[in-house]
Amino acid sequence: MDFNILTDHWHWSFTGIMVGAMMLLLTLFGKFFGLSSTYRVLCAIGGAGKKVAFFRFDWKDQLWNLFFVGGIILGAFLTRHFIPESQETTLSEHTQAFMFRLGMIEKVDADQLLPFAPDKLFNTTSPLFPSAALILCFGGFLSGFGSRYAGGCTSGHFVSGLSNLQIPSLITLIFFLIGGILSTSFFLPFLLNNL
Amino acid sequence: MKFIKFILAGVMFGFILTKGELISWYRWQEMLHLDGFHIYGIIITAVAVGATGLALIKKFHIQDISGRPIVIPDKKVSFYRYAIGGFIFGVGWAIAGCPAVHYAMIGLGYMMFAGILFSALLGTFAYGLLQKWLPH
């Protein structure tokens, strides 16, 4: 088999093995793999504990997690600079057609490679700026609110929690999918067409 | 420096998130249109590997690197917080992704995610503020 781990596209099964292994590695380090707790820590460091009891906790135990997410930023940065071809993704035609109708991509072509996110939404020079930024930040707000409410995000619930056979994580996943499906099919197009 | 191993693990995870296209906005849309198996496949494989590993850790009472027993706390059992919280998280995630994505995309140079991350912090703060009045 001729597989270059740096430049080739990864098969989902390989990525899955790596993600599972990452969770186990942190477990062996004596830590819990969950990234949304860094948001609580950052709020606490920012002084949120003065006003709200939820942010008065011993966040020094969680300091390692800030180094971990700092590493994520660095790792993504290094990947971008040293393996520039790793910044594109293929996309199924059906979703491409949907994105085309939303004006996010120029054409529908099963073989085209797309960047990780549409410039139309994510670039400050886009004609949709700043309303697109408003939509995205609203999404970020809900993501931060919902993950804390549910007690975990993708990593904490859908990787760590499910691996530990937690029913709460399964409930979270089911309602997460319902919310996400409604959001991408109706809510996001509604926002984009009305802002 | 006891934190160096976490930085290195983070660098590795940033690389995995990027190469695995987990941070691709288009990939989430595809997933939520039930139109691609990519991210579902990743979650299923990761959970298969993770569950096997955790089962072995429990069965053989494997200790962590500092020699302490590994105890993975159970999530508190309830319904509303997971259902409502999960739903809201899903609505937001479909538009702007989760924490791992926010951090990695900043590293990849998508600076809009700095604003998104800040908004997510506001969302977290809002939860802390309203926690008492929310059904759990």
For residue A86 the two structure tokens come to 């790793």
Q: Which of residues 38-67 of A touch B (CB under 8 A)?
A: 38-40, 42-43, 46, 48, 51-55, 63-65, 67
Closest Cα in chain B to A161 = B75
Cβ B24–A28 below 8 Å, yes or no?
Answer: no
ipTM of the complex: 0.96
Rounded Cα–Cα distance for residues A176 and A182 (Å): 10
Amino acid at the residue A26: L
pTM for the predicted model, two decimal places: 0.95
- A47-52: Cβ within 8 A, 24+ apart: A48/B125, A48/B128, A51/B129, A52/B125, A52/B128, A52/B129
A114: β partners? A89
B37-86 pLDDT, tens per residue? 999 999 999 999 999 999 999 999 999 999 999 988 899 999 999 999 99
Q: How many CB atoms lie within 10 A of CB A161?
A: 29
Contacts with B128 from chain A: Cβ below 8 Å: 40, 43, 48, 52-55, 148
**pLDDT (tens place) for every residue of chain A, 195 residues total:** 678 899 888 999 999 999 999 999 999 999 999 999 999 999 999 999 999 999 999 999 999 999 999 999 999 999 999 998 778 888 999 999 999 999 899 999 988 999 999 999 999 888 899 999 999 999 999 999 999 999 999 999 999 999 999 999 999 999 999 999 999 999 999 998 887
**Backbone φ and ψ of B69, nearest 5°:** -65, 145
Rounded Cα–Cα distance for residues A190 and A39 (Å): 29
How many H helices and E strands in chain A?
Answer: 9, 0
Closest Cα in chain B to A6 = B19
Q: Which of residues 109-148 of A touch B (CB under 8 A)?
A: 114, 116-118, 121-124, 133, 135-148
Q: Name, in order, each residue with C-beta under 8 angstroms of A50's C-beta and a sequence gap of 6 or more.
A: none
